[in-house]
Structure 1
Amino acid sequence: MHGATEVPLKEQIKTKANEIFDEVVELRRDIHRHPELAFEEKRTSQLAANYLRELGYEVTQGVAKTGVVADLKGGKATATSKTIAFRADMDALPMNEENSHNFCSTKPNVMHACGHDAHTAMMLGAAKILASLQAELPGSIKFIFQPSEECAPGGAKLMLESGLFADKIPDAIFGQHCMPQVPVGKIGFLSGAMMAAADELYINVFGKGGHASAPHRANDPILAAVQIVNSLQTIVSRNFPPHEPAVLTIAAINGGSATNIIPNEVKMKGTYRTMNEEWREIGHQRIEEIVHATAKAMGVRAEIEIRKGYPAVVNDKNMTEFAIDLSREYLGEANTITPEPMMAAEDFAYFLQACKGAYWMLGVGNEEKGIVHNIHSTHFDIDEEALRIGTGFVSYLAMNFLSK
């Protein structure tokens, strides 16, 4: 029509995100009320599957037990068109909620304290926006609703092993995580290593018990354990380059039963986190050497088990820059920030090993509203305005990626 102007894509997406905002909020609250632990996400996965089928997605359930995969082919897709994938995790944590809002967890000792309820709701919202634009889509969309992010070996690895990308590896994969340290309205992007590889340490020290008044007649495993803990700290401080991020923490020591008894055994648990696979392996070697050598020097024996956890989250440079440019368009320069790397771990890392992509931090914090508690806190919450932003930005990124 003469004189008519086409509405820019950004404004279209923002309008649609506003229109479904209340629906996305209610989805998040419904999932929050009914949290489910790793590989128990039956209600959540069924909710997602039903919602996506109604939108016209081809839905596969039962991937890695409770995972859901939804595919949508665009009306303008061809045999050579690109495919973009997005992931949301669904599981909750084994902890009690101590918030006071009217949609708190209804399950004792189960709580969405890491934002996975919001992750799932936002991806469902984005799925609805993109389904409404299906006729204009010049490629294909894949939404991955993953179980068990919180428990190693994690649902991402199992989904990939089950053949998630067997037919076609997506051209890119993206994901987002709620972050209270980032103010609502902002998104944080970091190229390269963003989150750490995380390994679990289990150390048992075996000595010879006896009366506490006669330590010379015993081989004290408590003293040896203390020396082991101190010596392990030299790995990061004296073996790693100063610019190489690493953390080694012994978080549990258990041994002994009374003031006058030297025990036979001490058990310790800890975590070792790195951003670099080479230094990860070097650290494993040094941990083994220090534990056994220190134990021998103290006249005791030690056993150690290192359970390898998730690898580091390493964002693709080009995909990160692409997302940053779009965030500047969608949210503005001031709301597109660079966060510090985190030593927390995330099994989205496995997807980034299988396919280039990027992971970002979605701001959900709001000091004025008291929304300041960190993830995995009994008081964790989000400013739900973030749902509008996350839903819209995912949709905007998808449309731009497929058309460029």
Structure 2
Amino acid sequence: MSESSIRLPEYIRHAARELYPGIVSVRRDIHRHPELSFQEFRTTGLIRSYLEGLGLEIGPQYLETGCVALLRGTARVSSSEKRAAVALRADIDALPVQEENSSEFCSTSAGCMHACGHDMHTAILLGTASLLAGMRERIPGDILFIFQPAEEKAPGGARPMLEAGLFSDYCPSAVFALHCFPHIATGNVALREGSLMAAADELYLTVRGQGGHASAPHHAADPILASAHIVTALQHLVSRVASPYEQAVVSVSSIHGGHATNVIPGSVEMSGTMRTMNESLRSTFHERFERAVRDVASAFGTTAEVNIVHGYPVLSNDARMTALARQAAVEILGERHVEEGDPLMTAEDFSYYLQECPGTFIQLGTGPAGDNSGEPLHSSRFEPDERALETGMNVMSAVAMKALRG
């Protein structure tokens, strides 16, 4: 039986199984040598060398780090059909975390670790490129592989790559990515239509008053007292501004002011985060947040400076592409291995791609079966199950083919 006569899901599963040992080695190499955002020079060199070895067309260097490559399928496309392109993305940067695992391939870089699974994502996409390069004659279009730097550090690598012309150069009709999730069992994936991950904004406040002796607070304008009331007042944004059916978070996570027990300080600095699941609520929260902070500060005879740093937007999965990806995942993994995803208040700069092109973000299981999740993302002991590498290659390859074939 010739390769061309083997059913596509069977071919993909067989190829992923054959590639798996080598992709494990690639993942471990990347894990040993993690690099922080916009510093991924070694990782970029490894990716480029691997893709050149597959005969892919290396694209422009949009940023100092990262790499894009194009695989041109050779399957015949009818003259009435426009040649399609599908984009697949992996993030490649690590986190400033000191690894506390004991495996033989632990990070060799002090204070730096792949604690979010980007080494897995990169290895999976390299394996997917290898798998699909081996079946060019079945591919009725082009596949763009995006290895993006700096997902972990706002403003991230996605937006500057897009601004530099990534999608205007390649014009993909769909874009897909996946991410490790330890609360989902290895071998499974989860998908969700619509809002999946939150917009994340950074909050910075400075409350200024009049310092004085702590024994005579009536001669001062106490910024610590004002700050305490501001923290309490901000909770009404979630409980009284957002609908009970909306997901939102406002957290003040640091407060700094004063240095002595008998001195009321002149100022207090605070910072925190705001997470919302739709852009309309996000805009409302920004306006109400600034008003609440300044009004409460004024009521205590103090003033407040407010700085809201816009982070990544809401990650919203396209309905049609999510349904397409779900169908592809069921065909390649089986229905019992495809779950409904739950919304998350974490953020991802893949959201920028989805603002430009329809697509979906796939949750890849990397945890143990049952109710016991593995170590959480960003933990110094995060250790994903490497068997998920094969699952990831299967799903990304099947989704790309399904998107090109319609």
Using the size of structure 1 for normalisation, the TM-score is: 0.97
Match of 2:13 in 1: 14
Query: Secondary structure of 1:66's match?
Result: coil
Instruction: Please tell me the residue identity of whatever aligns with 2:341.
Output: P
Single out whichever of 77-86 and 327-336 deviates more from structure 2. Answer: 77-86
Does the 8 Å CA contact 1:371/1:381 hold for their aligned counterparts?
no
The aligned counterpart of 2:336 is 334
Please state how far the C-alpha of 1:210 moved relative to its aligned partner.
1.5
Q: Cα RMSD between the aligned structures? A: 1.7
Structure 2 residue aligned with 1:298: 300
- What is the one-letter code of the residue matched to 1:330? I
The one of 93, 104, 107 equivalent to 2:106 is: 104
Q: 1:367 to 1:392 in 2, by over 3 A?
A: closer
Secondary structure of the residue that 1:305 maps to in structure 2? strand
Distance 2:52 2:373 in 1: 34
C-alpha contact (below 8 Å) 1:13/1:392 kept by paired residues: yes
Contact 1:55 1:131 in 2 (8 A): yes
Distance in 1 separating the partners of 2:17 and 2:60: 29
What's the counterpart of residue 71 of structure 2? 72
Shift in Å, 1:168: 3.6
Q: How does 1:32-71 map to 2 (within 5 A)?
A: 32-60=31-59, 62-71=61-70
Return the alpha-carbon distance in structure 2 between the equivalents of residues 267 and 5 of structure 1. Answer: 65
Q: 2: CA distance between counterparts of 1:200 and 1:371?
A: 29
Aligned to 2:26: 27
What pairs up with 1:3-402 in 2 under 5 angstroms?
6-60=5-59, 62-76=61-75, 78=77, 80-366=82-368, 372-402=374-404
Q: 2:85, 2:144 within 8 Å by CA — same for their partners in 1?
A: yes
Counting aligned pairs with the same residue, the percent is: 49
**SS of the residue aligned with 1:62?**
coil
SS at match of 1:299: coil
Kept in 1, the 8 Å contact 2:85–2:173? The answer is: yes
Tell me the SS of whatever aligns to 1:352. Answer: helix
C-alpha contact (below 8 Å) 1:61/1:67 kept by paired residues: no
Superposition misfits of 4+ residues, deviation over 6 angstroms: none
Task: Give per-residue Cα distances to partners, 1:148-199, cap 9 Å, x unaligned.
Answer: 0011111000000000012342110000000001110110100000000010
The whole-number CA distance in structure 2 between the counterparts of 1:375 and 1:367 is 17
Unmatched segments (≥5 aa) in structure 1:
none
How far residue 77 of structure 1 moved from its aligned partner, in angstroms, is 5.2
Query: TM-score, normalization: structure 2?
Result: 0.96
Cα distance between partner residues in 1 of 2:352 and 2:297: 36
Going from structure 1 to structure 2, the CA distance change for 1:4 and 1:51 (only over 3 Å counts) comes to closer
Note the C-alpha offset of 1:383: 0.4
Number of equivalenced pairs: 403
After TM superposition, give the deviation of residue 289 of structure 1 in Å. 0.2
Asked whether the equivalents of residues 364 and 386 of structure 1 are also in contact (C-alpha less than 8 Å), the reply is yes
Do the aligned partners of residues 367 and 211 (structure 1) sit closer, same or farther apart at CA in structure 2, a change above 3 Å counting? Answer: farther
Bigger mean CA deviation after superposition, 238-247 or 58-67: 58-67
CA distance in 1, matches of 2:340, 2:373: 21
SS of the aligned residue for 1:165 comes to helix
From the superposition, tell whether residues 57 and 399 of structure 1 become closer, same or farther in structure 2 (CA, over 3 Å). same
* Residue ranges of structure 2 left out of the alignment (5+ in a row): none
Q: Structure 1 residues 5 and 17, CA, compared in 2 at 3 Å: closer, same or farther?
A: closer
Q: For 1:286, what is the secondary structure of its paired residue?
A: helix
What secondary structure is seen at the aligned counterpart in 2 of 1:328?
Answer: helix
- Cα distance in 1 for partners of 2:24, 2:405 equals 29
